[in-house]
Amino acid sequence: MTCQCRRPDSVDKTKKFIYMLKILHAFFVLLLASCSSNTNPVLTIEGGKIQGVETSTEGVIVYKGIPYAAPPVGDLRWREPQPVLSWEGVKIASTFGPAAVQNDQTPGSFYHKEFFAAGDPDRSEDCLFLNIWTPAAGNPNKKLPVAMWTHGGAYTQGFGHEIEFDGERWAERGVILVTINYRLGIYGFLAHPLLSAESPNRVSGNYGIFDQLAAIRWIKRNISQFGGDPDNLTIFGQSAGAGSVQALVASPLSAGLIQKAIIQSGGGLRGLGLGSTLENAEASGQTFFDAAGLTTLEQMRAATIEDIRKIQREAMAERRGVRTSPVIDGYLSTGSFSDIVIADQLPKIPYMIGYTADDMGNMGESIRDFSLKLEELGGSGAYCYLFARPMPGDNAGAFHSAELWYIFGTLDRAWRPFNEADHRLSTKMIDYWTNFAKHGNPNGNSLPEWKPYTAAHSELMIFNIEDVFKNDEVVFRPIDNKTWIGTGNLMFNESLYLLEGNDRAILIDAGTRIADLDKIVTSITSKPVTLVATHVHPDHTGSAVNCFPVIYIAPGDTVNIPFMMADYRGEVRFLKDGEIIDLGGRQIEVVFTPAHTPGSVTFVDTKAGYGFSGDSFGSGNLLLGVDFSTLIATCEKMEATMKKYNISQLYPGHFMGRNTETPQRIRDMITLSRDVMSGKVKGEPNPNGMMGLNLVVSDYGVRINYNEQKMK
């Protein structure tokens, strides 16, 4: 008899349970893999398959170094861009493409320190790459607005991944940002009769603009893969990038491709865009290469990058140049930007346009004229702005390109001591810019209303850090997180400075007449405040000194108290030369600097790289209250102090935005003083003779008013 054994039911159930667990595990693995691939999917675009990399912002993917045209090398040098070459497999877009061929940045130059201190990028003629930041990769139904950024650099420098450019802040607001490289210099803008003759359109010279147009067309054909709307494109750029935007919107070849445009520091009706005729540019290019013995296209295209650099150096030595900027060729460009605007041939799309307070020339009038012309032609005008924030850290002011840190949200990458107010300004500007990219109108997000500039509303939107206090007598705004400048409005914008440490604060000067000054400063800082003075004069120790029970001055200005501070009811105490005022984690050295008055004082922050000199060295114009020998000794002392603490600037008693005193100006003051004492420079009659200073000298960028008898 056979015994048929049966497994217990518990064993069968256990096996089934384990089997189900394995199935569930496999399911969750596939689900996780699917989620990962959905957030960073492989996309199919022109040329092949591509995958981006995650950024530090959740949900935002960046695609670096995507080719948008064939490499313009060999026989394609000085031709319009050609279609992208295909690649095998999946391209992982984790590395920015090479920048266009350009010279090295000059170490120590202003813009080298500002944007290029990390070094020059890889450069190549094979440079036609773009970069994309998106929060909706692989989701063509999202149809997010798209913005294409064109860098500046005088059409000879720059690239799309400079340190100040980034798309994360734009993408997190629902705008896809694209930055591009394009051909520069002689490779991007050479015009030559032989090149025009071989062109099917009989033109040459605008290859860099053709590159940008090719990038726009690439975006139109491919951006939906990245979640973008090909019919909602904003182009924007700064300086030469702004000139490029002007060239593109004015070109008949871009008709219907661009929905909005932002022009930053490119001017308006008299802008930085197209100007030279094709004929003149061709003559320039032919002279350039003929002088080098390169008279055929084969020879020109066979020349290496170093060959061309050598030719350029020789041409510069002989004061011969070649035009390297856009030209009016009758095909891509049919006239200057101004001509196109005036002829009412500019696309009827929304425009934003602006400049910085210390830009390249005064662009304000041309920008206002541009907006008024749009209104005159039946439009609503442009959204016009002025970026007026003087950059902290030096006396460059709101220089050409200063706004770039703000509109891309990259202040943390800069060397400058930006503060929380700067970050708030950056947030506001990004909101305005991305709203414009979305809707053609910068307003929304509870932002202050920005109206187009029109005949009836002739105001620009002004961008500056917000005031921490403002009334009719004084405005306080931050210099950095623990330093504020107060500007009075009674005597030549007298300046007060509030410095805070961990334990206490000092107020440097009290202005002319500011009611309740003690309450004002304690609304800004919670630390106990002590009043100190750079000197005793009514615009610095005016009636507001009575808000404080004690004031500290230098003994040298005691003589001025009966005449200029007679109504003070508190106690006068004296500072000591070289003493350290410890604010708690912040030390301020007292430096006696007799110049404007015998008791003038400069207060130096020993760590921050700046100081506060009142009128010791003037505010661009020194009213000298001592003899020149004393001034020289004071300047030499100050120069040594600035070197000791690595001080780059001294904030004056009447700060106008960029008139800080620098070590070079202190040295120039010494030179001019010695010239006066030696008789090399003669004083001229002083037109106003303020304070009995009957003579004035001006040289080396320095102006000194003085009394002839005191000099003797």
pLDDT band, very low/low/confident/very high, at 475 (cuts 50, 70, 90): very high
Rounded CA Rg of the chain: 32
Report the pLDDT value the prediction gives residue 36, as an integer from 0 to 100.
Answer: 45
- Fold agreement between 97-461 and 469-711: no
Judged by DSSP in three states, 519 sits in helix
Report the pLDDT value the prediction gives residue 689, as an integer from 0 to 100.
Answer: 66
Asked if residue 339 has pLDDT above 60, the reply is yes
* DSSP label of 434: H
Residue pair 82/46 in contact (Cβ under 8 Å)? The answer is no
Asked if residue 170 has pLDDT above 90, the reply is yes
Domain boundaries of the chain, sorted by first residue:
97-461, 469-711
Asked if residue 18 has pLDDT above 70, the reply is no
CATH number of 97-461: 3.40.50.1820
What is the helix (H) or strand (E) element at residue 54, kind and residue range? strand 53-54
In 3D space, the residue among 384, 398, 386 whose CA is nearest the CA of residue 353 turns out to be: 384
Average pLDDT of every residue of the chain: 91
Report the pLDDT value the prediction gives residue 70, as an integer from 0 to 100.
Answer: 98
Position 575, amino acid: L
Across the range 213-219, mean pLDDT stands at 98
Q: Give the angle subtended at the CA of 94 by the CAs of 88 and 96, to the nearest 5°.
A: 100
In 3D space, the residue among 212, 218, 200, 222 whose CA is nearest the CA of residue 249 turns out to be: 212
Across the range 594-614, mean pLDDT stands at 96
Report the pLDDT value the prediction gives residue 37, as an integer from 0 to 100.
Answer: 52
Report the pLDDT value the prediction gives residue 270, as an integer from 0 to 100.
Answer: 77
Identify the sign of the CA torsion 299, 301, 306, 308: positive
Q: Which residue has the higher pLDDT, 449 or 392?
A: 449
| CA separation for the pair 55, 60 (Å, rounded) | 6
Report the pLDDT value the prediction gives residue 1, as an integer from 0 to 100.
Answer: 37
pLDDT band, very low/low/confident/very high, at 478 (cuts 50, 70, 90): confident
Report the pLDDT value the prediction gives residue 712, as an integer from 0 to 100.
Answer: 57
pLDDT 10s digits, 686-698: 877 667 788 999 9
Across the range 497-509, mean pLDDT stands at 96
pLDDT 10s digits, 544-576: 999 999 999 999 999 999 989 999 999 999 999
Q: Which residue has the higher pLDDT, 270 or 331?
A: 331
**H/E/C letters for each residue in 59-122?**
CCEEEEEEECCCCCCHHHCCCCCCCCCCCCCEEECECCCCECCCCCCCCCCHHHHHHCCCCCCC
Across the range 669-684, mean pLDDT stands at 94
Only one residue has tokens 């101004």, namely 338
Report the pLDDT value the prediction gives residue 11, as an integer from 0 to 100.
Answer: 42
In 3D space, the residue among 178, 119, 120 whose CA is nearest the CA of residue 151 turns out to be: 178
In 3D space, the residue among 111, 142, 130, 173 whose CA is nearest the CA of residue 38 turns out to be: 142
Report the pLDDT value the prediction gives residue 276, as an integer from 0 to 100.
Answer: 85
Task: Quickly count helices (H) and strands (E) in the chain.
Answer: 19, 32
469-711 has CATH 3.40.50.720 classification? no
Report the pLDDT value the prediction gives residue 39, as an integer from 0 to 100.
Answer: 82
pTM, two decimal places: 0.77
pLDDT 10s digits, 346-396: 999 999 999 998 898 778 889 999 999 999 999 999 999 999 998 988 888
Asked if residue 120 has pLDDT above 90, the reply is yes
pLDDT band, very low/low/confident/very high, at 12 (cuts 50, 70, 90): low
pLDDT band, very low/low/confident/very high, at 29 (cuts 50, 70, 90): very low
Asked if residue 85 has pLDDT above 70, the reply is yes
